[in-house]
Amino acid sequence: VAEVKGGEDEGAAWVGKELTVRGWVRTCRAQRTVTFVEVNDGSCLSNMQCVLTPDTEGYDQIDCVTTGASVIVEGVVASSQGGKQKVELKVSKIVVIGESDPTSFPIQKKRASREFLRTVAHLRPRTNTFGAVARVRNALAFATHKFFQDNGFVWVSSPIITASDCEGAGEQFYVTTLLSNTAEGGCLVNNIPSKDGRVDWSQDFFCKPAFLTVSGQLNGETYASALSDIYTFGPTFRAENSNTSRHLAEFWMIEPELAFADLNDDMACASAYLQYVVKYILENCKEDMDFFNTWVEKGIIDRLSDVAEKNFVQMSYSDAIELLIRSNKKFEFPVKWGLDLQSEHERYITEVAFSGRPVIIRDYPKEIKAFYMRQNDDGKTVAAMDLLVPRVGELIGGSQREERLDHLEARLDESNLNKDSYWWYLDLRRYGSVPHAGFGLGFERLVQFATGIDNIRDAIPFPRVPGSAEF
Ligand code: 4AD
Ligand code: MG
Same domain, 255 and 360: yes
* Cα 43 to ligand 1 centre (Å): 31
Contact yes or no for 306/449 (Cβ under 8 A): no
182 within a domain of the structure (yes/no) = no
Q: Which residues of 389-407 are buried (b: 16+ CB within 10 A; e: fewer)?
A: bbbbbbbbbbbbbbbeeee
* Cα 362 to ligand 2 centre (Å): 12
> Which ligand 1 atom sits nearest the alpha carbon of residue 248?
26
Q: How do the pLDDT tens digits run along the chain, 471 residues long? A: 999 998 889 999 999 999 999 999 999 999 989 999 999 999 999 999 999 999 999 999 999 999 999 999 999 999 998 778 999 999 999 999 999 999 999 998 677 899 999 999 999 999 999 999 999 999 999 999 999 999 999 999 999 999 888 888 778 998 877 665 544 444 444 444 454 545 667 777 888 888 999 999 999 999 999 999 999 999 999 998 788 999 999 999 999 999 999 999 999 999 999 999 999 999 999 999 999 999 999 999 999 999 999 999 999 999 999 999 999 999 999 999 999 999 899 999 999 999 889 999 999 999 999 999 999 999 999 999 999 999 999 999 999 999 999 999 999 999 999 999 999 999 999 999 999 999 999 999 999 999 999 999 999 999 999 988 888
Which of 213, 396, 445, 449 for a ligand 1 pocket mutation test, highest count of atoms within 8 Å of Cβ?
A: 445
CA distance 389 to 356: 7
Point out the domain boundary residue: 61, 88, 105.
Answer: 105
Same domain, 296 and 379: yes
Beta strands of 149-244 (E only): which ranges?
Answer: 154-155, 161-162, 177-179, 188-190, 211-212, 230-237
Same domain, 305 and 235: yes
- What CATH number should be reported for the domain holding residue 38? 2.40.50.140
- Please name which of 364, 371, 285, 374 lies closest in space to residue 321, comparing C-alpha atoms: 364
What residue owns the CA closest to ligand 1's atom 28? 247
Same domain, 70 and 146: no
Ligand nearest to the CA of 235: 1
Point out the domain boundary residue: 89, 105, 121.
Answer: 105
Same domain, 319 and 440: yes
40 within a domain of the structure (yes/no) = yes
* Cα 442 to ligand 1 centre (Å): 6
93 within a domain of the structure (yes/no) = yes
Same domain, 78 and 138: no
- Please name which of 314, 261, 66 lies closest in space to residue 151, comparing C-alpha atoms: 261
Number of domains in the chain: 2
The residue count of the chain comes to 471
* Cα 441 to ligand 1 centre (Å): 6
Same domain, 354 and 401: yes
Ligand nearest to the CA of 218: 1
CA distance 322 to 179: 55
470 within a domain of the structure (yes/no) = no
Same domain, 239 and 147: yes
- What CATH number should be reported for the domain holding residue 303? 3.30.930.10
Domain containing 268: what range? Answer: 130-157+224-458
Which of 140, 171, 211, 215 for a ligand 1 pocket mutation test, highest count of atoms within 8 Å of Cβ?
A: 215
Name every protein residue with a CB atom under 6 angstroms from any ligand 1 atom.
Answer: 166-167, 215, 217, 238, 240, 247-248, 251, 253, 255, 394-399, 438-442, 444-445
* Cα 370 to ligand 2 centre (Å): 9
What residue owns the CA closest to ligand 1's atom 30? 247
Same domain, 254 and 289: yes
What residue owns the CA closest to ligand 1's atom 27? 247
Same domain, 355 and 403: yes
231 within a domain of the structure (yes/no) = yes
350 within a domain of the structure (yes/no) = yes
> Which ligand 1 atom sits nearest the alpha carbon of residue 242?
28
213 within a domain of the structure (yes/no) = no
- Please name which of 315, 361, 351, 319 lies closest in space to residue 337, comparing C-alpha atoms: 319
171 within a domain of the structure (yes/no) = no
* Cα 225 to ligand 2 centre (Å): 23
Same domain, 243 and 370: yes
CA distance 443 to 133: 13
Same domain, 153 and 29: no
